Amino acid sequence: MKPTLDSRQLHAFSALARRGSFTLAAKDLFLTQSAVSHAIKALEDDVGCRLLDRVGRRVLLTQAGEQFLRHTEKILREMEAARAGIEGLIKWGHGRLRVGASTTACQYILPTVLREFRQSYPKCVIRIEPGDHAHLLELLRGGNIDLAILLEPPRSVSEFAFVPLFQDELRFVLAPRHPWAVQGRVPREAIENETLVLYYKTSQTFRLVNEYFREEKITLSNFIELGSMEAIKELVKIGLGAGVLAPWIARAELENGTLVSLPLGPRRLRRSWGVAHLAGRRLALAEETFVGLCRSACDTLGLSASGVAA
C-alpha cells in the first residue's frame, strides 16, 4: 500500500502551480526555495512521474501535473472545509449534545439547564436519554451519550470522570397525621412494620436505602416501589406509608405543610450528584458550558456541592 500524500507537499505544489515561480511560492508559504524544491521532488517521487517542467525561471505544469492539480485543489478544499467544520463545532456548538439523565434529573434539573443551553447554542442538536444509573453508565461506556447526570458511580469504577454538582440526604417524608410525624420522631422498632414507599427496586437510590437499613439491622420486607417521585409523594399524602426521598424533591410540599420530613436514623444517608463522562476525554466547549449550567441550576435550587441539600 502506497503512503498517503503529504499535505505540505500538496500545498507547495498548489502554490507553485498558481504562482509559476519557486521564489513567489516560497514567499507565499513562508518557506525557503530549497524547502519548496525538496517538497516537489518528494511529491514527484511519491506519485511516480514528473509534474512540473522548469523553463528558465518559469515553472510549467506537465499534462500529468495539470490533472494532478485538479485533484490537489479538491483535496485542499476538503481539508479546509473539515478544519472549518471542526472549528465551528468547537467554537459555536454547531453539532450535537447527547445527555443521559435519571428520571429525577430530567424532571427537576434539566428543564432550566436546557432552556439556558439553547440560548447559547441554538444550532446544537440535543438528545436526552432517560434511564437508571446502570443504564446510563453503560451508555457512557459504549460512547452512546456524551454526559450523564446521575449519582456518583462507585469509586472502584475508574473509567468515568465525575464532576460533583451537589449532595443531598435521603429522609422519611410523611403525611402530617402519620404517627411518626405527630410524635416528631421515628421509633426504630416501628420501621420494619411500616409500609415504605420507595423509588423502584433496580435504582441506585433503592440500593443505597436497602444497604443503609441492612447496616442498621432493619429488614425491608414491606414496601411499595414506584418509578416516579411525584407518585411517591402522592401515596404518602393519602397515608399509604412512609416515603423515602430527598427533601429538595418535596420542597413545595414541606413548605406548605402537606408533607413532613424526619431523618432515617442516627446516621445520615447522603448522596452525591454530578455529571459523569468517560475518563480521559476532553470536553468540548458546548459540553463544558452544559456542566456549568448544571452547576448554576443547582445553585438556583439551593443545592450545594460542598454541603447537603435542604
Fold match between domain 96-165+272-300 and domain 166-270? yes
Decide if 88 contacts 94 (C-beta within 8 A).
Answer: yes
For residue 276, what are the CA distances in angstroms to 34, 68, 147? 52, 48, 6
The pLDDT confidence band at residue 301, using thresholds 50, 70 and 90, is: confident
pLDDT of residue 268: 95
Domain 7-91 has CATH 1.10.10.10: yes
Q: Decide: pTM greater than 0.85.
A: no
pLDDT at residue 253 tops 90: yes
Q: Identify the CATH number of the domain defined by range 166-270.
A: 3.40.190.10
Tell me the average pLDDT of the chain.
89
pLDDT at residue 4 tops 80: no
pLDDT at residue 84 tops 70: no
pLDDT of residue 223: 94
Mean predicted confidence (pLDDT) in 152-176: 91
What is the percentage of the chain residues whose pLDDT exceeds 90?
54
pLDDT of residue 73: 87
pLDDT of residue 93: 46
Give the sign of the dihedral formed by CA 130, CA 132, CA 137, CA 142.
Answer: negative
173-208 in b/e burial notation, b at 16+ Cβ within 10 A? bbbeebebbeeeebeeeebeebebbbbeeebbbbeb
Tens digits of residue pLDDT in 235-246? 999 999 999 999
pLDDT of residue 90: 55
Q: Which of 208, 179, 197 is nearest to 267 (CA)?
A: 208
Mean predicted confidence (pLDDT) in 257-278: 96
Fold observed for domain 96-165+272-300:
D-Maltodextrin-Binding Protein; domain 2 (3.40.190)
Grid cell 402530617 is found at 176
Least confident interval from 51-55, 248-252, 275-279: 51-55
Tens digits of residue pLDDT in 93-110? 457 899 999 888 998 899
Domain locations in the chain as residue ranges: 7-91, 96-165+272-300, 166-270
pLDDT at residue 196 tops 80: yes
